[in-house]
Amino acid sequence: MGVVATNTAPEERLLNLVVALMATEQGLTKDTILESVSGYREQSEAGAGRDALEKMFERDKESLRRLGVPIETIGDAADPDDLREARYRVPSGEYELPVDIEFTPAEIALLNLAGSVWGEGSLSEEARSGLRKIRALGISVDEPIIGYAPRISLRDPAFAPLQQAIEQSRVVTFPYLKPGEPSPRVRRIRPLALVDYESRWHVYGYDLMAQADRTFLLSRIVGDVVATREAFDPAQREGAGDRALKGLEALAARMSALLEVNPGSEAALRLGRRATPAEQGIRVPYVDVHVLADELASYGPEVRVVEPLQLRDEVVRRLRATLDVHTGRAA
């Protein structure tokens, strides 16, 4: 039986999983997670099969690791390759501050205030319910969890329906607006993976109209994502995330911008993280000229585009449009 839709959003399930894995040092077995953590528990109660739940858990682990959450697998010491009774956890030591970091009294006061606010609202009732169920099994858990700010952010409305369609292996349609086109075009795809690349979410799938694999930027989906009744083989999802990332990385390796950046500026800080030094500044790889132009224009005079010419023209066009708006010359 396939995965049955529930009221728990995919991103909420991921957060509940992180909360559970951080709450115990000894780790949780897969059985405990699937039976106790909100998101999996509801799917099981709604009739989802064990195989579907295990695949969902594996995809969730992969998603969290890509987001930087260190999930540790604790196997049998006598047979490390035997993962049937493996336990999973997020080591608390990964989030401990180095011993040489010190704070002033004023900084400590601000951190205490922020911690108290986060502590009151960080756990949903579903997450607390899951921790109670885990505690009832005799597993020691810490509650509340203070100091963990989730890095999972959902800025694009298309994320949740796409994630659900991926889990259910359903074809979707959505209106997609590419830069330079006068109106959006409806795309029909088999969604295979959601990937975060350069802090932007993309959906990777098989475009049924183009008869080819395609990657779409979620921010360019300008209307509702509609899941159809048409299903596809879930096996097509296997390794899709890796294929998507490799494709984006290969594209970025073929394209780069030569930039001059003001030292010590915000642009230097942000762009320097993914740049390589060049004779006349820095080289920054990119996958979409319009996306990079939006970013560079936001830095204003802190950055100057040397090449390519198309990128420079796009940045100048955005800066002129901003100037027109502020000087009243915009139509």
Q: Where is pLDDT greater, at 168 or 127?
A: 168
C-alpha atoms less than 13 angstroms from C-alpha of 327 in its C-beta half-sphere: 7
Give the contacts of 295 (CB within 8 A, at least 6 positions apart).
none
Contact call for residues 4 and 48 (beta carbons, < 8 A): yes
Tokens of 24: 């115990």
Q: Where do the DSSP E strands lie in 198-321?
A: 200-207, 212-217, 226-231, 256-261, 276-278, 281-285, 303-307
The mean-pLDDT minimum among 43-57, 85-99, 146-160 falls in 146-160
At 153, the pLDDT band (50, 70, 90 cuts) reads very low
Q: Where is pLDDT greater, at 68 or 282?
A: 282
pLDDT in tens, 262-307: 987 878 878 887 888 988 899 999 888 998 998 899 888 999 999 9
Given a cut of 70, whether residue 146 has pLDDT beyond it is: no
CA distance 310 to 307: 8
pLDDT (0 to 100) of residue 228: 95
Q: Can you tell me the mean pLDDT for 18-41?
A: 82
Helix, coil or strand: residue 25: coil
| Bridge partners for 39 per DSSP | none
pLDDT in tens, 190-225: 999 988 887 678 999 999 999 999 999 998 999 999
Give the contacts of 120 (CB within 8 A, at least 6 positions apart).
none
CA distance 274 to 287: 13
pTM of the model: 0.52
Given a cut of 90, whether residue 84 has pLDDT beyond it is: no
Sign of CA dihedral 157, 158, 164, 170: positive
Given a cut of 60, whether residue 135 has pLDDT beyond it is: no
Given a cut of 50, whether residue 122 has pLDDT beyond it is: no
pLDDT (0 to 100) of residue 52: 79
The mean-pLDDT minimum among 1-5, 79-83, 147-151 falls in 1-5
Nearest to 244, CA basis, from 218, 199, 286, 213: 213
Q: Can you tell me the mean pLDDT for 55-84?
A: 75
At 108, the pLDDT band (50, 70, 90 cuts) reads low
Distances, alpha carbon 196 to alpha carbons 116, 166, 203, 207, in Å: 31, 15, 9, 19
The mean-pLDDT minimum among 13-22, 31-40, 143-152 falls in 143-152
| Bridge partners for 88 per DSSP | 28, 73
pLDDT (0 to 100) of residue 112: 54
- Please give the radius of gyration of the chain, using alpha carbons only, rounded to the nearest integer: 23
pLDDT in tens, 312-328: 999 999 999 888 877 76
Tokens of 305: 């585009």
Q: How far apart are the first and last CA of the chain?
A: 56
Contact call for residues 16 and 124 (beta carbons, < 8 A): yes
Given a cut of 50, whether residue 119 has pLDDT beyond it is: no
68: left (phi over 0), alpha (psi -120 to 50) or beta: left
* Domains, in order of start, for the chain: 10-136 (no CATH), 160-249 (2.30.30), 255-327 (no CATH)
